[in-house]
Amino acid sequence: MKKQGRTYSAFDTAVYYLTFKDRTKKELADKLTDKGYSSADIDNAINRLELYGYINDENYALSYIKGNMKRKGVKLMAMELERKGIDRETFYQQIERSDIDELSAIEDILKKRYSDISDDTTRRKAYAYFMRKGYKSDDINRAFSRLIKQKEDFDT
């Protein structure tokens, strides 16, 4: 990267990108490749950044999971993180650390977004919404059942 005639190293450029937001190793390597740095310079920069603790894919995955667990299902988060260079094994290790409860997340969203899930049209729309968000079919159906039962118990 050049700025006013000065050439920056891959490390300096990587640090510059990290000032805006956290990134995975793959994201950073892709950015540096796009800027024209050699693979040796990129590897050296990434190794230094890991050594200094500026990038850590495990911490990135855990932070991403905690930030998105109330809006996205495990499947969708796994797919998004895989695109960012986080392997499935790392992802599932971090899922275990984060104590995700998809069922309660679905129930919370149902209570906020959908007023009457006993209506078939609303239920189909809600089901499609949760499937797009990466939630498991079993969890969606279980949440519907629990909330319908709660409503019936409340009404009686």
Query: What's at 63, amino acid-wise?
Result: S
| Domain 2-52 CATH class label | mainly alpha
2-52 and 57-98: same fold?
Answer: yes
Is the domain covering 57-98 a CATH 3.30.460 domain? Answer: no
Q: What is the pLDDT of residue 100?
A: 81
Q: What is the pLDDT of residue 1?
A: 54
- Long-range contact set of residues 23-27: C-beta below 8 Å, sequence gap at least 24: 23/55, 23/60, 24/55, 24/57, 24/60, 24/84, 24/85, 24/86, 25/50, 25/55, 25/57, 25/85, 26/84, 26/85, 27/84, 27/85
Q: What is the pLDDT of residue 6?
A: 57
The b-or-e profile of 118-147 (16+ CB within 10 A means b, else e) is eeeeebeebbeebeebbbbeebbeebbeeb
Query: What's at 136, amino acid-wise?
Result: K
- Phi, psi of 113, rounded to the nearest 5 degrees: -95, -30
CB-neighbour burial class of residue 48 (10 A; exposed 0-12, middle 13-18, buried 19+): middle
Q: What is the pLDDT along the chain (156 residues), one digit of tens a residue?
A: 555 545 789 999 999 999 999 999 999 999 999 999 999 999 999 999 999 999 999 999 999 999 998 889 999 999 999 999 999 999 999 998 888 888 888 998 988 888 778 788 888 999 999 999 999 999 999 999 888 888 777 766
Query: What's at 110, amino acid-wise?
Result: L
- Rounded to two decimals, the pTM is 0.80
Domain locations in the chain? Answer: 2-52, 57-98, 102-155
Q: What is the pLDDT of residue 5?
A: 47
Q: How many CA atoms lie within 13 A of 45 on its CB side?
A: 25
CB 13 within 8 A of CB 37: yes
Q: What is the pLDDT of residue 151?
A: 76
DSSP assigned state of 136: -
